[in-house]
Amino acid sequence: MSNLAKIGVITLALGAVLYGAYGLGYGQAEAKGLAALRLVQVEREEERRAAAEAYGKALADTLSRYQQEVATAQQAAQTLSAKNNALETQAQTLRRDIKNATAGSVHVFSAEFVRLWNGFIGAASPTPRAVPAPGGAGGAAGGGTAGAASGAGFPGVGQPASVTEEDVLEFMAYYGSRCQRLESKERAWQTLAKGWATK
């Protein structure tokens, strides 16, 4: 075999080795690249799964809190309804006693009394009345200090307003029941708000 043939064989052999080495290196690099890509994909899938689980837990917690708040509100509404029913029963019981309590009474309250009453409860804005001077023009019907002390000289004093004791008690039955209902509602709201503030 000539030298030229030997060189050709060596060159071919060397080329085959180099090609094989290149192919092996390329294959290893490709495998490593694919492995790295798969690792990134797995990490992203885990991140997405973790985010989905966190979102699901947050949603479940929110739903649980909402259900607790609804249950608390329903309980407060039931308690308030029961209290209102009890107050209404109490008011009806008291109203039945009004006729007996006022039987035979002839008290009729003056227009001035009614004006002040309405002013105290906010049903009307009472206009301030000037106190008449002792012995002044308004001191008729008793005159002087005695007349002022007895209410003489005040507009409406001594004039019947057709408001009887029965009327006053009927009003108090309504107004007292209304006030108690409002107080019960306020307490229920305060309890509810306090429960929400601690969550």
Tell how many helices (H) and how many strands (E) occur in the chain: 5, 2
Where do runs of H (alpha helix) occur along 97-138?
98-102, 111-121
Amino acid 107: pLDDT = 78
Residue 21 has pLDDT above 80, yes or no: no
Instruction: Give the tens place of pLDDT for each residue, 149-182.
Output: 344 444 444 555 678 888 888 888 888 888 888 9
Task: Say how many C-beta atoms besides its own lie within 10 A of residue 148's C-beta.
Answer: 20
157 neighbors 112 (Cβ within 8 angstroms): yes
Please enumerate in sequence order all residues whose Cβ is within 8 A of that of 157, keeping only pairs 6 or more positions apart, or say none.
Answer: 110, 111, 112, 151
Instruction: Give the tens place of pLDDT for each residue, 100-144.
Output: 877 777 778 888 888 888 888 777 655 555 444 444 444 333 333
